[in-house]
Structure 1
Amino acid sequence: MESAARSRHVLFLNWRDTRNPDGGGSEVFVERIAAELVRRGHRVTLFCAAHPGAPADETLPSGVRVLRRGGWRTVYLWAAWVCLTGGLRPDLIVDVCNGVPFLSPLYAGCPTVVVVHHVHREQWPVVLPGWRGRLGWWLESRVAPRVYRRCRYVTVSEPTREELIRLGVDPARITIVRNGLTPVRDEAVARTPYPSLVVLGRLVPHKRVEYALRALTALPDARLVVAGRGWWEPELRRLAAELGVAERTEFAGYVSEHRKHRLLASAWVALVPSVKEGWGLTILEAGARGTPTIAFREAGGVRDAIVDGQTGLLADDPDEFVALIRWLLSDEKTRQQLGEAAHAYARGFTWAASGRRFAQVVDEVAARPRQRVP
């Protein structure tokens, strides 16, 4: 264990945890960073929404305590209640904003660090059409920057940093702490004998798995594995049948870490068709298996996770997305070169380094006098 400059109680506020059926890369980042803080001598609590099958209070093997209260709508009120009633007495709060902010400076009696993986401008109308999406964007773009105007921000990529600056956040208050990568076992896994694609992630509209299904219609010899779960799966299955690609599409559902890495290692190309990603952890995971990824340039953090033309490819529109897939599946030499470069690039990211950088932010912020938001 590395000793912290001073041991503190750090409270993470996040709407979900990795055991939540809807958990994703944001939750992985939070829990791995929390574990690194514990390793450095801090006491860490993660407060998140409750979900079926998960205890209300548990301590993870990493030493992180997880408290679950409320649902995905009410967890924000529960967080305020617990802080205001003294149920938790943190020295510092890490307020993770996944679109809807916790607004902890309004009620917390300690400093706040804000974590923003990406700005949700494009996602609000997809996830919540109409007035609810406009309200969400107003909270994220107008209310949150004002409430957090004296807080330190942490984000995971340069594109998100640029978006925060456009929302009015002072660049001097933004620190980039990129995702790490858990070392993978070098298990020999053969590539499929046929052209194969894989999409890994939650099955929700803004992940745009539809783009991968539509691409398959132009690739008659290719097959696609969609690994993940989510409420949008029935619609994706319906579309696969409508497009005539259901027999070449496997909906694998939730996969274990071992199965995930075997899928990434056996695929020829990984696809990330999302409308927005803060980073794109699966891109590095694919890279660790020597598999290049194709994503959309407009999707934010993927521009940091992929070195375009070296470790993977970025498309500017759906037609180019299909064209790049077709090219990479047909060009074995280029595919291998990109895969080897992606493997080397992925090795440069570790959770230890990310945790060390985040711990520096914690120490710097916690050492400053508390300034309340008027």
Structure 2
Amino acid sequence: MPATRHRHVLFLNWRDTRNPDGGGSEVFVERVAAELVARGHQVTLLCAAHPGAPADETLPTGVRVLRRGGWRTVYLWAFWTYLTGGLRPDLIVDVCNGVPFLSPLYAGCPTLVVVHHVHREQWPVVLPGWRGRLGWWLESRLAPRVYRRCRYVTVSEATREELVRLGVGPERITIVRNGVTPARGADFPRTPYPSLVVLGRLVPHKRVELALRALVALPDARLVVAGRGWWEPELRRLAAALGVAERTEFTGHISEQCKHRLLATCWVALLPSLKEGWGLTILEAGQRGTPTIAFREAGGVRDAIVDGHTGLLADDLDDFVTKIRWLLWDHAARRRLGAAAHAYAENFTWTESGRRFARVVDEAADRPRQRVP
């Protein structure tokens, strides 16, 4: 459906989906950006450069990607490129993954802020000491002030509640949930043995360690850890120290086809992450009739999982192990939750996400620009 008014929308996000550190946040950004293009908008994504990716390319979806700087300097490059690169968007979509771009300080157009989740718990894990405290100050104190006249988009009710606690007016926040790409390919039989999978980046705050520790208490089960990241050597060392290395497979990066085959063949998916805005892999597992177990404290997973119906939420490590054991051995319960997860996942499409996002874009772009003093 064409937009009533075609606009140039500039997304600022420190990563893209081709970045080795890219994840669900980047998928959301590029999918809603593609939906904007389909509605007649011009869309540019400015993100950090990384090896093997061109500085300027246009994706098959029509989204133009500019890669500048690195993960530390992309924020300055966004400012410089806006001022000198001939970019004159009608709207900036400022994606805050902890560190804000602060575009209202220099942009001559309205800003729409996207926040997947608040990083309170992650800062001391990712950057211990004063750097983490500085990061949290930027996110919790400076950003709400700079963006105080901006509209917000987030993906879950849990994040909306956290933003309100940071001082963002609830009337300025719109929830646009993740979609999910329809699963393709044949159905695959489940493994003949109890099998678990963790899918995602291998970094400390994803807490894959908890899945390894749970495996100790499940001697008949095997675990597949699918993904890449700089924390993998530590995880391999822990698996060896715990005596579960022979029952743990680290696959590294896998293709979409392999991902869906893995989610279809495993019995239960695990998401032990410290914090998630949503948890896209929960819906992807659900497409294959596979229930997911995550931690209740992890925020947006409470929206992606209907606890006790499409999957399970654990309160601590002991509860995590107990719930895994129950689903592995209670075949009827696992099939029941898997069927419900499949039905639930079908409610989420990128077309609907794009429609809702496009509506917020129009509303935000039509607001008069008020420069932040």
Short-chain TM bin = over 0.9
Cα distance in 1 between the residues matched to 2:320 and 2:280: 20
1:213 alignment partner, SS class:
helix
**With structure 2 as the length reference, what TM-score do the two structures score?**
0.99
Q: Which residue matches 1:335?
A: 334
Tell me by how many angstroms 1:85 deviates.
2.3
**With structure 1 as the length reference, what TM-score do the two structures score?**
0.99
Report the CA distance shift for 1:86/1:254 in structure 2 as closer, same or farther (over 3 A).
closer
Q: Which residue matches 2:212?
A: 213
For residues 1-40 of structure 1, the aligned pairs below 5 Å read 2-40=1-39
Matched, 1:41 2:40: yes
Tell me by how many angstroms 1:255 deviates.
0.4
Tell me by how many angstroms 1:336 deviates.
0.2
1:102 alignment partner, SS class:
coil
Matched, 1:273 2:265: no
Q: Which residue matches 2:357?
A: 358
Cα distance in 1 between the residues matched to 2:225 and 2:184: 23
Deviations 1:307-354 (CA, angstroms, capped at 9, x unpaired): 000000000111100110001101000000000000000000000000
Q: Which residue matches 1:68?
A: 67
Identity across the alignment (%): 85
Q: Which residue matches 1:125?
A: 124
Q: Which residue matches 2:371?
A: 372
Residues matched between the structures, number:
373
Tell me by how many angstroms 1:86 deviates.
4.8
Q: Which residue matches 2:243?
A: 244
Q: Which moved more, 1:81-90 or 1:263-272?
A: 81-90
Cα distance in 2 between the residues matched to 1:308 and 1:93: 36
Q: Which residue matches 1:348?
A: 347
Structure 2 gap ranges (5+): none
Tell me by how many angstroms 1:87 deviates.
2.7
Structure 1 gap ranges (5+): none
Which amino acid counterpart does residue 140 of structure 2 have in structure 1? Answer: S
1:44 alignment partner, SS class:
strand
Deviations 1:264-305 (CA, angstroms, capped at 9, x unpaired): 000000000000000000000000000000000000000000
Deviations 1:142-186 (CA, angstroms, capped at 9, x unpaired): 000000000000000000000000000000000000000000115
1:73 alignment partner, SS class:
coil
Q: Which residue matches 2:281?
A: 282
Which amino acid counterpart does residue 75 of structure 2 have in structure 1? Answer: Y
RMSD: 0.6
Q: Which residue matches 2:307?
A: 308
Which amino acid counterpart does residue 172 of structure 2 have in structure 1? Answer: R
Cα distance in 2 between the residues matched to 1:318 and 1:121: 21
Cα distance in 2 between the residues matched to 1:316 and 1:212: 14
Q: Which residue matches 2:79?
A: 80
Cα distance in 2 between the residues matched to 1:365 and 1:116: 16
Which amino acid counterpart does residue 35 of structure 2 have in structure 1? Answer: E
Cα distance in 1 between the residues matched to 2:113 and 2:368: 17
Q: Which moved more, 1:32-41 or 1:185-194?
A: 185-194
Q: Which residue matches 1:140?
A: 139
Tell me by how many angstroms 1:58 deviates.
0.2
